[in-house]
Structure 1
Amino acid sequence: MDMLKVSAAEFQRNIGRYQDMALRQPVAVTRNGRESTVLLSSEEYMRLKRRDRQVMVPADFTDADLAALEASRPAPESDAFNAEMPL
């Protein structure tokens, strides 16, 4: 998804315009040339919140869960990310 970038001063002058634009795409507000905040639709925000991850500790897993994890293997297409892992 493309993100529109706008200075804080421009954002303040035309906030209504950028609020409308944020319904279709994120709007990055810059300060001193650096992105400082992002305005996005409440629908997109809620979608992202639903994707929040929950941290679990080993005690939260059943024996069946642990066995399934140990037996799992990554998909072959995940090999494309091997370079991102330190050796």
Structure 2
Amino acid sequence: MKVTNDNLLEVAAKQVSSRFGFYTDEAMLRPVGIQRHGTTRVVMISLSEYERLKRRDRQVKYVKDLTDDEIHAIKTAKPGKASRALDDLMADTGAG
């Protein structure tokens, strides 16, 4: 068992199978990497972390399936500061 720099607790599958309850509790606090033959093959995470990651998934829709509110939001969207800074950089005629 070791903890990596990114706070992943790496554990042999045999240890997890013999102390499953303990490692599910650990997964509530940090990701648990389950190793087989010294290689991490799967990661156990809490349900709340899984749901957070799923919310970040991109959704693809056909335009015909968008609601009026979604279309309005797209039409009226404003670029953020980082995007505006890139626009300014691209408009710099002295560059390149």
Under a length normalisation based on structure 1, what TM-score does the superposition of the two structures give? 0.61
Cα distance between partner residues in 1 of 2:63 and 2:9? 42
Equivalences for residues 1-87 of structure 1 within 5 A? 1-49=6-54, 51=55, 52-55=57-60
Number of equivalences = 79
- Larger RCO (CA under 8 A, 6+ residues apart): 1
Gaps of 5+ in 2: 1-5, 66-79, 83-96
Under a length normalisation based on structure 2, what TM-score does the superposition of the two structures give? 0.56
Larger Rg: 2
Gaps of 5+ in 1: 61-74, 78-87
Cα distance between partner residues in 2 of 1:21 and 1:3? 10
Runs of 4+ in 1 over 6 A off after TM superposition: 57-60
